[in-house]
C-alpha cells in the first residue's frame, strides 16, 4: 500500500537541545513515563555517576577518558542534559587527537557542563 505524499501529515521535530534548559524536563518525563519518583531516582543516579566519571577522567589515559565520556554522553541523553551530552561527545572525539591540550580543554568544558547540570538537578530534587 502506497501513501500519497499529500496525505502524509508533517510535524516539526523538537530541537535536540531546547534553548535555556539545562535539563529537558519534557524529555525526562517521557523517559520516566511521567513517574515523578522515577525521575528523582534517575536524576540522583546521574548526579552521582557524573561526579564519579569526571573524577576518573582526571588521571586516566585518553582511551579510558573516551570510554568514560561515551558513558556520560548516553546517561546525559537519557535525562535530557543536552549540553552535557554535547560536551561529552566533544571529549570522546578529542581523545584520539595527539594534542593533549585539546583533550584537556574539552574535559574542562565537560566539567563545566556537568557542574551546571548538577546544580539544576539539585534545584529539582526534593530536600530530605
Can you read off the three cell numbers belonging to residue 96?
584520539
pTM for this structure? 0.83
CA 106 to chain centroid, in Å, comes to: 15
| DSSP H helical ranges for the chain | 25-31, 36-58, 62-79, 82-94, 100-124
Q: What is the pLDDT of residues 16-48, one digit of tens each?
A: 545 568 999 999 999 999 999 999 999 999 999
6, 65 in Cβ contact below 8 A? no
Which residues in the chain land under pLDDT 70?
Answer: 1-20, 128
User: 21-124 has which CATH code?
Assistant: 1.20.120.160
Q: What is the pLDDT of residue 126?
A: 82
Maximum distance among all alpha carbons in the chain? 58
Amino acid at each position: 500500500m502506497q501513501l500519497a505524499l499529500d496525505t502524509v501529515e508533517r510535524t516539526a521535530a523538537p530541537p535536540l537541545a531546547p534553548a535555556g534548559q539545562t535539563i529537558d524536563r519534557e524529555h525526562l518525563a517521557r523517559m520516566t513515563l511521567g513517574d515523578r519518583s522515577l525521575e528523582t531516582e534517575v536524576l540522583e543516579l546521574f548526579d552521582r555517576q557524573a561526579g564519579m566519571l569526571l573524577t576518573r577522567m582526571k588521571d586516566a589515559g585518553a582511551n579510558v577518558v573516551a570510554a568514560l565520556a561515551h558513558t556520560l554522553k548516553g546517561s546525559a541523553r537519557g535525562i535530557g542534559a543536552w549540553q552535557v551530552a554535547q560536551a561529552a561527545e566533544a571529549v570522546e572525539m578529542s581523545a584520539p587527537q595527539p594534542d593533549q591540550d585539546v583533550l584537556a580543554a574539552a574535559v574542562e568544558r565537560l566539567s563545566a557542563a556537568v557542574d551546571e547540570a548538577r546544580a539544576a538537578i539539585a534545584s529539582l530534587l526534593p530536600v530530605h
